[in-house]
Chains A and B, each alone.
Chain A
Amino acid sequence: MGGWAIAVHGGAGVDPILPNERQEEATRLLTRCLDIGISALRSNLSAIDVVELVVRELETDPLFNSGRGSALTEKGTVEMEASIMDGPKRRCGAVSGLTTVKNPISLARLVMDKTPHSYLGFAGAEEFARKQGVELVDNEYFITEDNVGMLKLAKEANSILFDYRIPTLTTCGGGAAMENQLQMNGLPISLYAPETVGCVVVDKQGHCAAATSTGGLMNKMTGRIGDSPLIGSGTYACDLVAVSCTGEGEAIIRSTLAREVAAVMEYKGLNLHEAVDYVIKTRLDEGKAGLIAVSKNGEVACGFNTTGMFRGCATEDGFLEVGVW
C-alpha cells in the first residue's frame, strides 16, 4: 500500500455512438494529461500542484467541456467555474461565472491561497483575477464552432422539453442527432456535453487533492452554478480521500456526491472501492453521474452510472488505464 496515484476525467455520460475518431482524440488527451501528472508526481510535486497542473492542461485543450471548449449559456456566452481542495487541513478555493480567465482552476487556487475566502464569483472573481495578473482573454477565445452548433440543437430540443426530470424521448431537428433513448439533463445524449474535467491525486506523502473545472450545462441560464465549484458536491478532499465528480450537476449537488464518498469511508469504515461503489449505486436515484477518487493509501477508483465516462488512472506500481466505457 502507499505510493502515489492519479486519476483524471473528461466527463461522464458519453454518446454510445460517438465516432471512433472522437474516442481516440479523447483517449489521447487523457493519456497526455496522465503523463503530465505522472511526471510531476515523479518529480515530487505535491498533490495540490499536480491537480492544478493537470486540470490546466484539460482546460487549455478544447476537446472537453472546460476552459476553451466550454459549453455555452443560453446567450451563447461562456461562464466557467472550478474548485480545488487540498486534503491536509481541507483548504479550498472555488470560482464561478468566469468569462475571461484563461485557466479557471488557477484562479480557484489563488482564491484558496491569497484570500480569506473560499469562493468568489462573477464580476468580483474577474476583478480579483485582474488584480492577480492572471492571463485574461476575450470570451470568444473559449467558444468553439462545435459548441455553437450544439447550442443551436440544444435550443431546438429544449423547446419541446423544459423539465429535465421528464424522461420522454424527443428527436431533434439537427443532423447530428439520432433517435436515441438516452438522456442526460433533459437533452438527448448526442447533444449533451459532458460537464466537467477533473483530477484527483495522492502524492508520495499520502496527501490527497482534488480539482474540477467546467463550462457547465449546455444552454444553461446565465448565472447558473452547477456542482463543480461546490465543495462537497463536485469536489472534495480530506485526509483520507480526494474526489472529483461529473454528470448531472443538480443530482450531484442533491447527493453531495464528493463528500459522500469520504463520509462513508470515515463514518462507515468502507474502503475506497466499497465507498465509490456504494455511493454510485445508492445515492444518485435517477440522477446520472460519475466520479474519480484516490485514497491516502495510493488506491484509485472510479465509478459511474452513465454510459461511459472519459477517464484515466495510474498508480506508482505501474498500473495505467485509460477508458471511455
Chain B
Amino acid sequence: MGWAIAVHGGAGDIPLSLPPEKRLPREAGLRRCLDVGIAALKAHNHPLDVVELVVRELENNPHFNAGKGSVLTTSGTVEMEACIMDGKTMKCGAVSGVSTVVNAISLARLVMDKTPHIFLAFDGAEAFAREQGLETVEMSHFITPENIERLKQAQEADRVQLDYTQPIPKEVPKEAAVADGDSQIGTVGCVAVDSEGSLATATSTGGIVNKMVGRIGDTPIIGAGTYANHLCAISATGRGEAIIRGTIARDVAAVMEFKGLSLKEAAAYVIDQVPRGNAGLIAVSSTGEVTMPFNTTGMFRACATEDGYSEIAIWDSPTK
C-alpha cells in the first residue's frame, strides 16, 4: 500500500518518428505534472484535489488536447469537456461544450460540489461558471496555430469522403492521417490514490479534430472515459465512440469485482476487448497499484508510486 499516481496526455497513432520538437515539450509537461501530483500526495492532499490540480496543469499546457491547445470543431471553435469522480463517495461532476472557462476540470468539480446535478453542458455550464466566479477568457485563448493547421488538414482530407447525409461506417476513422503524423486524438487525465486507499480520477479534453459542433465524447460520460469506486480509479483516452460503446472505465472496476482480476489484469482485459488502435487508459487501485495499458501506437503517460517507482513513456516501454 501507499500512494500512487498516473497521468496521461492522450493515446493515439503517435508515430515513432515524432520529431523532438513535438516530443520533448510533452515529455517535460508530463514530468512536471507528475511532480506536481507527487508533491501534493506527499503533502497529504486528498486525491480529488490532487487529480484536479494535475489536470489543471495539463489543461494550461498548450501541447496537450485540453484547455489551451484543445483541438477544434469543424467550425474552428473550441468545445471542451471534463469529468471528475471520487471513488469513496462516488460523487462526480462533468461538463461539456465549454468554450470560455480556463479550467474545465474545475468547473466539473463545482458541478459536483455545488449543484444537485452531475452534468452541465453548453450555455448552462457557461452560465454556471460565471455564477461561480470561475476564470473565463475569450475563446481565442485556447486556440493554437498547430490546431488551426490540424483542422485545415483534417478538413482537406475529409472533403473527399464527407457528406453527413451518407451513412458513415463507424469502423473507418473519420480523421485522415495528417501530414506530420501527429496524433489526432487525445485527452488528458490523472488518477490518484492516497495511502488510505481513497481514489479519484479526472479527465479533460478538447475532443476530436473537426468534430461536429455539439459532439460529446467519452470523457464526461461516467463509466466511459472516467470512473472511480472503492476498488480503482480510471481515466481513458482514445476514440471516444469506442470508449463509450465499451464502457471502458466502468468495466475495469467491474471485471476486478466480478471476475476477481487484479488491476493490471482487469485493465489489460478491457483494453483487449477494444478494437486495436482505439484506446488506452491509466488506472490505480486502492492498494496502490498502477497500470497504463493501451492498444494504440502510443500513449503519453507517466506514473509514480510511493515505493519510489516512476516512469514517463510514449510508446511501449522496454520493461513491459
Which residues of A are at the interface with B, using a C-beta cutoff of 8 A?
Answer: 90-92, 94, 96-97, 113-128, 131-132, 162-165, 185-186, 217, 220-226, 230-233, 236, 249-250, 253-256, 259-260, 263-264, 267-268
Contact = CB atoms under 8 A, between A and B. Distances in A.
Contact of A231 (B96, B215, B221): B221
Contacts of B119: 224-226, 230, 253
B208 to A, nearest CB: 9
Nearest to B166: A114
Interface string B220-237: 011110010000000000
A225 B81 CA distance: 13
Contacts of B121: 96-97, 121-122, 223, 225
Given A94-B216, A114-B168, A225-B120, 17 more contacts: A91-B170, A91-B245, A92-B245, A96-B121, A119-B215, A119-B244, A123-B122, A164-B116, A221-B120, A222-B123, A223-B120, A223-B127, A231-B244, A232-B221, A254-B92, A255-B90, A259-B247
B212 A124 contact: yes
Interface in B177-230: 211-217, 221-224, 227
Question: Interface residues of B: mostly helix, strand, loop or mixed?
Answer: mixed
A233 B251 CA distance: 13
Contacts of A256: 222-223, 227, 247, 250
- Most-contacted residue by chain A among B117, B217, B258 (CB, 10 A): B117
Top 8 nearest A-B pairs by Cβ distance?
A223-B124, A124-B214, A267-B258, A124-B213, A225-B119, A256-B223, A222-B124, A122-B122
A121 B167 contact: no
A121 B216 contact: yes
B128 interface: yes
Given A122-B123, A124-B214, A117 B241 contact: yes
14 contacts: A90-B245, A94-B216, A116-B170, A117-B215, A118-B244, A118-B245, A121-B97, A123-B122, A124-B215, A225-B121, A226-B117, A231-B245, A232-B250, A263-B254
A217 B90 CA distance: 21
A163 to B, nearest CB: 6
Majority DSSP secondary structure for residues of A touching B: mixed
A204 B300 CA distance: 46
Interface size class for chain B? Answer: 35 or more
Given A122-B97, A250-B118, A223 B125 contact: yes
Interface of B: 90-92, 94, 96-97, 115-125, 127-128, 164-168, 170, 174, 211-217, 221-224, 227, 240-241, 244-247, 250-251, 254-255, 258-259
B240 A118 contact: yes
B224 A253 contact: no
Contacts of A224: 117, 119-120, 124
A114 B165 contact: yes
A128 B245 contact: no
A121 B122 contact: yes
